[in-house]
Amino acid sequence: MDNGKIKHIGVFTSGGDSPGMNAALYGTVKVAEQHGIRVSGILKGYEGMIDGHFIPLESQQLQKTVHRGGTVLKTARSERFMAVDGRQLAFKSLQDNDIDAVVAIGGDGTFKGLIAFSEISKIPFIGIPGTIDNDLAGTDFTLGFDSAINTAIESIDKIKDTAESHNRVFIVEVMGRDSGYIAIHSGLGVGADAILIPESGEDFLQLLKKVKDYRSEDGFIVVVSEGDELGAELVASKIKELNPEVDLRITKLGHVQRGGNPSAFDRMLGIRLGAASVNALMNGERNVMAGILDNQLKFTPFDSVVKQHQLNEELYGLLKTLNT
Ligand code: F6P
């Protein structure tokens, strides 16, 4: 394996935090140390890159954080990096700190940032998909998605108890800005009565048919993705219009889905992708995201990963069956 000229890697987390990011940091630093490569953590994503906020990282400290949610490097969504001036400052900071390669952990905003950055920076970048939304192509699962759906399922199970006790309809909104992945997985997992996702508008009509016949003899759970075009409130008011008898509540799970200890799957995924990112840099890869496709490590160019992750056809079929 050729180490090339890489002596110092910078690593950062960016965008919405996701459980498993700390495990990815640990995997990155542990493998870099084995090859005698120094690693600096860049604090608060692109913001810290612009401001030159770097700290030395050691695997010994990070090992203690593998089981913790959030990100020890902090994170942010950076307005300044969107402008070319901000990106130029960031490039200068990396050069001033002798950073000759970067590992970026984040979602589609992070990768769009890297695509723009690569126009002015010749520094090689490797990406790790870190977002609960599972909305990136080039990997079957993003870091944090599995933990988020487990959190969502645990919460909706509890809502089901109270829904059944009161014979109520609950509209439960889950996260996923433009993607129905969290809704479909958590909705199927709890045995929801209907699931509404941005990718499938016509399911709303099916829901109305079902709810029209609902006679308040049991609970009724509708899982709605936050990215769905109608949204929880409008869905609720349409249901009430159609069937004024129903006793209905809306619950938005919100940021609880982003926190908590990572699942076993996300810890493993983080460590695997962290390790893979350093190995990829040493093998001369650049501007690609490490992902797992069909349980194989794969590297996909940034411009292909920001295309929306297509919904799995089989799951989509299941969703249709459930919604009828
Ligand atoms: O991208 C992850 C995510 O949690 C989305 O599901 C959600 O729309 C968004 O981030 C919320 O962002 P913020 O943390 O800025 O409120």
Q: 202 pLDDT exceeds 90?
A: no
d(C-alpha 272, C-alpha 66), whole Å: 12
Ligand 1 centroid, distance to 16 Cα (angstroms): 6
Helix/strand/coil (H, E, C) string of 138-197? CCCCCECHHHHHHHHHHHHHHHHHHHHHHCCEEEEEECCCCCCHHHHHHHHHHCCCEEEC
Residue pLDDT, tens place only, 227-283: 999 999 999 999 999 889 899 999 999 999 999 999 999 999 999 999 999 999 999
- Give yes or no: 133 in active site: yes
Tell which residue, 277, 268, 271, has the closest CA to residue 299: 277
Mention every residue, 6+ apart, whose C-beta is less than 8 A from residue 189: 149, 153
**pLDDT attached to residue 1:** 38
Task: Report whether residue 129 contacts ligand 1, using a CB cutoff of 6 Å.
Answer: no
Residue pLDDT, tens place only, 93-108: 999 999 999 999 999 9
Residue 127: band (very low, low, confident or very high) from pLDDT cuts 50, 70, 90: very high
Task: Report whether residue 70 contacts ligand 1, using a CB cutoff of 6 Å.
Answer: no
Compute the mean pLDDT over every residue in the chain, rounded to the nearest whole number: 95
Ligand 1 centroid, distance to 15 Cα (angstroms): 8
CB 225 within 8 A of CB 197: yes
Mention every residue, 6+ apart, whose C-beta is less than 8 A from residue 285: 124, 126, 299
Place of tokens 């890489």: 6
CB 48 within 8 A of CB 12: yes
Note if the pTM is more than 0.85.
Answer: yes
Residue 206: band (very low, low, confident or very high) from pLDDT cuts 50, 70, 90: confident
Q: Which atom of ligand 1 is nearest to the CA of 227?
A: 8
Ligand 1 centroid, distance to 9 Cα (angstroms): 28
Task: Report whether residue 16 contacts ligand 1, using a CB cutoff of 6 Å.
Answer: yes
Residue pLDDT, tens place only, 23-36: 999 999 999 999 99
**pLDDT attached to residue 107:** 97
Q: Which atom of ligand 1 is nearest to the CA of 182?
A: 6
Domains 8-144+262-305 and 146-258 share a fold: yes
Q: What is the DSSP string of 28-54?
A: HHHHHHHTT-EEEEETTHHHHHHHT-E
The three-class DSSP label of residue 292 is strand
Residue nearest to ligand 1 atom 6, measured at CA: 176
Using a pLDDT cut of 90, give the percent of the chain over it.
Answer: 86
Task: Report whether residue 106 contacts ligand 1, using a CB cutoff of 6 Å.
Answer: no
**pLDDT attached to residue 310:** 81
Residue pLDDT, tens place only, 107-121: 999 999 999 999 999
**Helices 203-212 and 231-242 meet at what angle, rounded to 10?**
40
d(C-alpha 122, C-alpha 141), whole Å: 29
- Dihedral over Cα of 253, 255, 258, 259: its sign: negative
Q: Which listed CATH number (3.40.50.460, 1.10.3720.10, 2.60.40.420, 3.40.50.10700) goes with 146-258? A: 3.40.50.460
| Mean pLDDT, range 64-83, rounded to an integer | 97
Task: Report whether residue 131 contacts ligand 1, using a CB cutoff of 6 Å.
Answer: yes
Per-domain boundaries in the chain: 8-144+262-305, 146-258
Task: Report whether residue 252 contacts ligand 1, using a CB cutoff of 6 Å.
Answer: no
Mutate to test the pocket of ligand 1, among 132, 182, 224, 252 (most ligand atoms within 8 A of CB): 132
CATH architecture assignment, domain 8-144+262-305: 3-Layer(aba) Sandwich (3.40)
Q: Cβ–Cβ contacts within 10 Å for residue 16, how many?
A: 21
**pLDDT attached to residue 208:** 83
CB 105 within 8 A of CB 14: yes
Ligand 1 centroid, distance to 249 Cα (angstroms): 23
Q: 299 pLDDT exceeds 60?
A: yes
- Active-site option among 100, 133, 146, 203: 133
The three-class DSSP label of residue 108 is helix
CB 319 within 8 A of CB 313: no
d(C-alpha 72, C-alpha 17), whole Å: 10
Using a pLDDT cut of 70, give the percent of the chain over it.
Answer: 99
Q: Write phi, then psi, for 250 (nearest 5 degrees).
A: -115, 135
